[in-house]
Amino acid sequence: MEEPKVIYERLVAKADDFNVEKVIAAIKLIENLFSSAYLDEESQKAKRGGLKIENIHRIIYLLGCYNSWVEETVKTGVAKATLEVLELLKLAEDLVIVKRARNYEKILPRLRIKEEFDSAVFEVEMAVAYLNDDCNVSFVKERVADKMPDLEIKTPAGSRFYSECKARILKPIIDWVSLERYVTKQLRDSSEQFTLEGPGVLCLKFPYNQGLHASSSIMKKLEIIVKSKLKSNEKRKINKVDLLVPTYQQIENGEKEGFSYHAARSIIKHPNPLYVFPSR
């Protein structure tokens, strides 16, 4: 089996270039998007749930981390980058760019749903990635009686394909039985959701902040699971599965202090797809 490819390694933040004004602007954008009333309601839910992480909407958790970051910054006079603040920055940046996509408003209600937040954010990330690759992107409007893919992408060459995006944050100790069931379900559901004529790409993201070596090891196991499910005469509407296991690593090396972002990526093609995938 081929080694998973590490697609990028980049410095996310350095100690001397962390822009506090940019962070504040990002928080304002996110708070306006979700509305004060909604955030207050979700905060109260979190308190009633005992502030257990599994009961809290991730945006509430991230904003709580931001408030702690503000207190620490005021106390020390130093604005240090944290993963949670960087996540908020990335979300705000993507929410600005994604407005270039058609029907982008469709994704906004899903960001408010706790169980769908991670996948909705990933959908926004993928839309932004395709937009930055000079593609035209549309969020597909759902039909009452039909299941539909998340995104329609038209390449600069005029070809078209569809994308379904799902994300699940992995815990430090992975339940592989549960994870295999999850992957199997996403393959089955996506095959049913690619109802429009044209190639389909299932994008699966599994953030795992336990280091690059661990991410590569997880990727190898995910590859085995996916390949075992993509049989020649089954799920033929899925042209390929794009697997992504990103991780952050803290760097303390002089002027390179901050976080480095790595992502192990593997693209698994169906052996007998129904449609030919377009060339650029």
pLDDT at 61: 92
User: What does the pLDDT read at residue 143?
Assistant: 67
pLDDT at 246 over 50: yes
CA 227 to chain centre: 22
CA separation for the pair 9, 6 (Å, rounded): 8
More confident residue, 257 or 111: 111
Residue 17 token pair: 């270039």
Residue type, 21: E
4 has a pLDDT exceeding 50: no
pLDDT, position 144: 55
**Least confident segment among 8-22, 31-45, 59-73, 106-120:** 8-22
Which residue, among 201, 76, 112, 110, has the nearest Cα to 149 in the 3D structure? 201
- On whether the CB atoms of residues 163 and 200 are closer than 8 A, the answer is yes
Q: Each residue of 199-243: pLDDT tens digit?
A: 999 999 998 877 667 788 899 999 999 999 988 788 999 999 999
pLDDT above 90: percentage of residues in the chain: 51
Query: Three-state SS for 175?
Result: coil
Query: What pLDDT does 27 receive?
Result: 93
| H or E stretch covering 137 | strand 136-139
> Rounded to two decimals, what is the model's pTM?
0.86
Rama region for 44: left / alpha / beta (φ>0; ψ in -120 to 50; rest): alpha
Q: Is the pLDDT of residue 73 over 80?
A: yes
How far apart CA 95 and CA 120 sit, in angstroms, is: 11
Judge whether residue 101 has pLDDT over 90. yes
Residue with tokens 């760019």: 97
For residue 125, the model assigns a pLDDT of: 92
Q: What pLDDT band is residue 1 in, cutting at 50, 70 and 90? A: very low
Q: Which pLDDT belongs to residue 7? A: 45
Which amino acid appears at position 187 of this protein? L
Arithmetic mean of pLDDT, 56-85 = 89
- Calculate mean pLDDT across residues 160-188: 92
Residue 176: which H helix or E strand, with range? helix 176-193
Residue-level pLDDT at 252:
64
Give the pairing of strands 200-205 and 238-251.
parallel
* Confidence at residue 233, expressed as pLDDT on a 0 to 100 scale: 81
**Residue 117 backbone phi and psi in degrees, to 5:** -60, -50
What is the residue-wise DSSP string for 33-60?
Answer: HH-HHHHHHHHHHHHHTTT-GGGS-HHH
Q: How crowded is residue 173: how many other Cβ atoms within 10 Å of its Cβ?
A: 6
Helix (H) or strand (E) holding 226: helix 212-229
Least confident of 89-98, 143-152, 190-199, 223-232: 143-152
175 — phi, psi (to 5°)?
-90, 100
Share of the chain above pLDDT 70, in %: 88
Q: How confident is the model at residue 83 (pLDDT cuts 50, 70, 90)?
A: confident
- Could you tell me the two tokens for 133? 């690759």
